[in-house]
Amino acid sequence: MANNDYVLELEHIRKEYPGVIALKDVTLQLRRGEILGLIGENGAGKSTLIKCCSGAVIPTSGKIKINGKEFTRMTPQLAAENGIAIIYQEFNNVGELSAAENMFLGRPILKKNGIVIDRKAMEEEAAKAFEQLNIKINPRTLVKNLSVGYQQMVEIAKAIQQNAQVLIMDEPSAPLTTNEVESMFKVVELLKSRGVSIIYISHRLEEIFRLSDRIEVIRDGEYVDTLITDKDPATIPHQVDELIKLMVGREMTQKYPPREPCIRDEVVLELEHVYGNGDQDISFKIHAGEVLGLGGLVGAGRTEIAQVIFGARPKESGKIIFMGQEINPKSPRAAINHGIALLPEDRKRHGALLTNSIKNNIAMPIYERISKGTVINKKREHSIAEGYREDIQIKCPSIHQLVKNLSGGNQQKVILAKWLAAQSKLIIFDEPTRGIDVGAKFEIYKLINDLVEDGVAVLMISSEMEELMGMSDRIIVLAENKMMGELQKNEFNADLIMSYASGVVPEDKKVKEAS
Amino acid sequence: MNENKFLSVFKQNAIWLVFIIEVAIFAYFNPKFLSLPNIVNISRQVSYYGIASIGMTFVILIAGIDLSIGSIIALVNVVCAYLMMNMGWNMWLAILISIAMATLIGVLNGWMVASIGIPAIIATFASQTIFRGCAYLLSGGLPIPGVVLENPTFGFFARWSLNRWEIFKAMGDVGLIPICAIIMIICFAVGSFILNKSYFGRYFYAIGGNEEASELSGIRVNKMKYLIYALSGFFAGLAGIVLLSRSGSAQSTAAIGFEFEVITCVVLGGVSVAGGIGKMSGVIAGVLIIGSLKSGMIMMNVSEYTQMVVQGLVLAVAVGVDCFSKKRQAS
């Protein structure tokens, strides 16, 4: 049988929820010892699909075959017994237990008496598994003391120790640093060479090209196409365009919408030697109608300074001058009253009120303004929310819908609408497009353009170099909680930004500043 | 689409169906269950935890809990009676001071939870113990009797009808509705108003959904916590006054375990202990279900011990059904 080539086959998988079809018709075939890249926009159904493989979700119809054997009803136990393992974005580790204990969680090795856990044997087995993967982890270390990268390795080692034939990885690189990503790649390639099949899900296309043998695209719960990866660097840009087209379903002609220069003379925000929240001596100005990019590595202190400006963390010293007046916001409420807004990096935890309606989210900062005494003017509440829904095109059946049921891009729009309703004069975007799919990104960029054209000042924190350079009028780079350099639009250069971000001021730059 | 809408409206109000079925069953076994005197009786019994359930609803909506309300009621009983009987204070002044004290205890709970950061279950458990102790200390563990006997007006809170209360005689007949039930209805109206019409309600739902995001949306979360625990104390204080007017004698042992009955009503009414979800109408249904369950079982001569078992089962089943349906929706 030719089908024996395939370790895992999903045929015409369909999953319906009341009112929503998560998967319409997805087919996926995974060969022995290959890496299959799985891509699609947010909400395309990738997560649901992998949950079908693990038995966490039961498909409405369709077939799942493992090694040619058909399973009508997959359960988590069956999936594990048949060698399917999933590394989720959020790990299933218990922080208070050691690496070895985590590996044998729920299936401990017992001593001969059958009662007492044989810790030594477990530690030896764990050490063996780590050795196989060429990683150095002490099996006795508590998992909470391991770096995120090593925590992930513990999960992978656990899967291998359980003889996983198929490893499904959901955005494995998202929480990792650059170095950790590199070691994760090595482990993945090592596993492949040992005949393990891998489904690799990622938004980062360059990773997909680096690792995968084939790339499958799904869109709106449907199978779109499978391409064979061509690793020739010359053809990659063309392939990327092709893949984006397949994912989005239309041509993406430009990544960043053009913007007429609209910087005004008026200074909206000025920081003078601000210390606080770990940051040291931060000084900069933002004008009305300007996008100031804030670059740097994760942990460089960008979010920290945003929190100080927004009143979420206290300032230690220095001056914050807003619209010509010195302010010292002690709470987000105080900052909002001045006209400062923050769209946080972690949208689901800090930004949107997921269990509240779109309408309530939008009106949240202005309830006291649209109430008489304590009684809400519901007509105004409704018309304001409806107005923004139309203005910035929040895609939803009604403004009474809960925000948790929206896609990432639309959630971000709701948060933006909230700050527009509060008539903010300075809007801080912390990673405005993280986890947002390609199509919705473009819309967010257009909205930022509209804002500055209306004279709003924008401070944009971004770790995506292209986004930073594509959207900013000026860029300030931080490293280790200090300002490293400032670049005007004509100086934008990825290498220069990177060297600033690594805390290095290039020689020629130093000379220029001195002269 | 329409069918879906019908289904969701039905689901949201399923609790009332449970209530109707319950009443039908009791009425079938004992036709007297639906007689006027019994309905009036139920409404009197229900009123005191109905009033307290409003504050508890707010607290649970923000994913908190208030275990101190039983002790607050006992202390309000003792203090109010002490001021009137032993110190000879004016009745209205004594009531005012007692309720103000209850509200202050709520503020203290709010301070422990919001400003100090003690988990609500521990903070309010501590005040439960502290203020029960205060009630014992003040009363010496003995009842203070004769409150209503010496102050006939005090009984007004428990009266059968307004027309028996001299001052309101001129205003006409409200018939057989007990005044404590009228107080409860007013309280529910106020609770509904706070939740649905005022911005406080929006804030409560937001905080229950996500505290951090609420703070970053401009809600002063700590201030709201103070307010909510103070409201819980206030409504408990009011419930205490109603209880005192019914019993006519202040007991430092009054309302032991009362908080759990109130939590049962609130949770049964569909307020999620995880916070952020719940409606005042559901809580009213929860209160009525527990009230008629107790009365119905008494009429059917079910022993007190069996009643406890049944009440516990009702709570487990009600919450179980809710959690199970959520779990199924998720997969």
Q: What is the pLDDT of residues A39-65, one digit of tens each?
A: 887 667 888 898 888 888 889 889 899
Nearest CA-CA distance, residue B116 and chain A, Å: 18
- Nearest Cα to A476, choosing from A344, A305, A259, A275? A305
Q: Which pLDDT does position A515 carry in this prediction?
A: 38
Secondary structure element (H or E) that encloses residue A50, with its range: helix A46-54
- List, edge to edge, every strand of the sheet that includes A482-488: A340-343, A426-430, A457-461, A291-295, A474-479, A482-488
Q: Which residue(s) pair with A274 in the sheet?
A: A282
pLDDT over 80 at A26, yes or no: yes
Asked whether the beta carbons of residue A371 and residue B199 sit closer than 8 angstroms, the reply is yes
Q: Is B328 exposed, middle or buried (0-12, 13-18, 19+ CB in 10 A)?
A: exposed
Residue from the list B197, B200, B206 with its beta carbon closest to the beta carbon of A353: B206
- The answer to whether residue B190 neighbours chain A at the CB level (below 8 Å) is no
Residue in A60, A333, A366 to test binding to B, most B beta-carbons within 10 Å: A333
Q: Decide if B22 touches A, using CB distance below 8 A.
A: no
The residue in chain B having the minimum alpha-carbon distance to the alpha carbon of residue A379 is B197
- Tokens encoding A42: 């947010």
Contacts of B210 in chain A (CB under 8 A): 349, 353-355
Identical topology for domains A1-83+166-172+196-251 and A267-352+423-514: yes
**A253-281 per-position pLDDT tens digit:** 567 888 888 999 999 999 999 999 999 99
What is the chain B residue with the closest CA to A378? B197
Please give the single-letter amino acid code of residue B156. Answer: F
- Is A88 a residue whose pLDDT tops 60? yes
Which residue of chain A comes nearest to B210, CA vs CA? A353
Q: Measured between CB atoms, which of B4, B210, B218 is closest to A365? A: B218
Give CA–CA dist B184/B178, Å, rounded.
10
Tell me what pLDDT residue B188 has: 97
Q: Kindly list the residues from chain A whose CB atom is less than 8 angstroms away from the CB atom of residue B198.
A: 371, 374-376
Per-residue pLDDT at A148: 82
- The answer, yes or no, to whether residue A284 has pLDDT greater than 50, is yes
Length of chain B in residues, anyone? 331
* Chain A residues near any Cβ of chain B (below 8 Å): 17-19, 56-58, 310, 312, 331-333, 336, 342, 344, 349-356, 360-361, 363-365, 367-368, 371, 374-376, 418, 422
pLDDT in tens, A340-387: 999 998 888 899 999 999 999 999 999 999 999 999 999 999 999 999
Q: Give pTM, 2 decimals.
A: 0.77
Best mutation target, A353, A366, A384, A427, to test chain B (most B CBs within 10 A): A353
| CB pairs A-B closer than 8 Å | 80
Domain A267-352+423-514, CATH class in plain words: alpha beta
A512 pLDDT band, cuts 50/70/90, is very low
Model confidence pLDDT, tens digit, residues A103-141? 888 788 888 887 888 889 999 989 988 988 888 889 999
Rg (CA), chain A: 25
* Structure-block tokens of residue A501: 């971000």
pLDDT in tens, chain B (331 residues): 455 677 777 777 778 888 899 899 999 988 888 887 788 888 888 998 899 999 999 999 999 999 999 999 999 999 999 999 999 898 899 999 999 999 999 999 999 999 999 999 999 999 999 999 999 999 998 999 888 878 777 777 766 544 444 444 433 345 567 888 889 999 999 999 999 999 999 999 999 999 999 999 999 999 999 999 999 999 999 999 999 988 888 999 999 989 999 999 999 898 988 889 999 999 999 999 999 998 899 888 889 899 889 888 888 887 787 777 667 665 5
Of A357, A358, A363, A364, give the one whose Cα is nearest residue A381. Answer: A363
Whether pLDDT at A3 is above 80 = no
Confidence of residue A20 (pLDDT cuts 50, 70, 90): low
Closest residue on chain B to A342 (Cα)? B216
The Cα–Cα gap between A159 and A85 comes to 6
Locate the domains of chain A by residue range: 1-83+166-172+196-251, 85-164, 267-352+423-514
Cβ pair B215:A332 closer than 8 A: yes
Q: Which candidate from A312, A368, A376 shows the least CB-CB separation from B216?
A: A312
Residue A464 backbone phi and psi in degrees, to 5: -90, 110
Task: Please indicate whether, in this complex, the C-beta atoms of B331 and A368 are within 8 angstroms of each other.
Answer: no
Count Cβ neighbours within 10 Å for each residue of A221-255 and write b for 16 or more, e otherwise.
Answer: bbbbebbebeeeeeebeebeeebbebbbeeeeeee
How far is the alpha carbon of A363 from chain B, nearest alpha carbon, in Å? Answer: 10
What was the ipTM of the complex prediction?
0.84
B217 to chain A, closest Cα gap in Å: 6
Of the residues B190, B193, B199, the best mutation for testing chain A's interface (the one with the most A CB atoms within 10 Å of its CB) is B199
Taking residues A294-302, report their average pLDDT: 85
Give the Å distances, CA to CA, from B21 to A476, B18, B26, B30, B46. 68, 5, 9, 14, 19
State whether A351 and B208 contact (CB < 8 Å). no
Percent of all residues in chain A with a pLDDT value above 70, rounded to a whole number? 95
Task: Decide: A422 and A408 in contact? Cβ < 8 Å.
Answer: no
pLDDT score for B31 = 86
**Architecture of the CATH domain A1-83+166-172+196-251:** 3-Layer(aba) Sandwich (3.40)
Asked if the C-beta of B213 comes within 8 angstroms of chain A's C-beta atoms, the answer is yes
Shortest distance, CA A371 to any CA of chain B (angstroms): 7
